[in-house]
Homo-oligomer: A and B are copies of this chain.
Amino acid sequence: MGDEAAAAGRRILVAVDEGDESVQALRWCLGTFAAAARGDTIILLYVRPAPPTYSVLDASGYLFAEEVTAAIDRYSREVADAVVEKAQKLCTLYSKEVGEGGHEMKVEVKVAVGDARAVICHMADKLGADVLVMGSHGYGFLKRALLGSVSDYCLKNASCPVVIVKS
């Protein structure tokens, strides 16, 4: 963070998920914050939940843990692909619309696995993010209900400034 980082373009980490608020956050980032002409890099980060390691019982009590975990894992990968593709399209769209004299926004994609809250904070550090941008809830209704707000956690624990965008 600081003047050198600004001069070399800022590294803007955007946490994306399947929710509308993360799309709003990315839109805000592209429309109001990031500037291709300034050499900024947008890093799209999607965090997949870790595959379940416990066994799963169906109604008859029959174990089919491997099949189920493989299916869950496959589904989770598909969701990740869909979210990241949508986010990348939005980046391309804005790059074309805004133009900025032929500058194209640098976009990187990271898909990580684990607890979204911890992974986002860790990646912000590891990737040398100048700022973390995210929706105000983040990571879907169910996980929010189970784990509390991801954005609250990141606000407290991320080592860089955090932008919270509400829809």
Q: Give the interface of A toward B (CB within 8 A).
A: 1-3, 5-6, 10, 25, 28, 31-33, 35, 38, 97-98, 130-131, 136, 155, 159, 161-166
Contact = CB atoms under 8 A, between A and B. Distances in A.
24 contacts: A1-B28, A1-B31, A2-B32, A3-B31, A3-B97, A5-B32, A6-B31, A6-B32, A10-B32, A25-B161, A32-B130, A32-B131, A32-B161, A33-B33, A35-B35, A35-B38, A131-B163, A136-B155, A159-B166, A161-B165, A162-B163, A162-B164, A163-B163, A163-B164
Nearest to A38: B35
A31 B1 CA distance: 8
Given A32-B130, A130-B32, A3 B163 contact: no
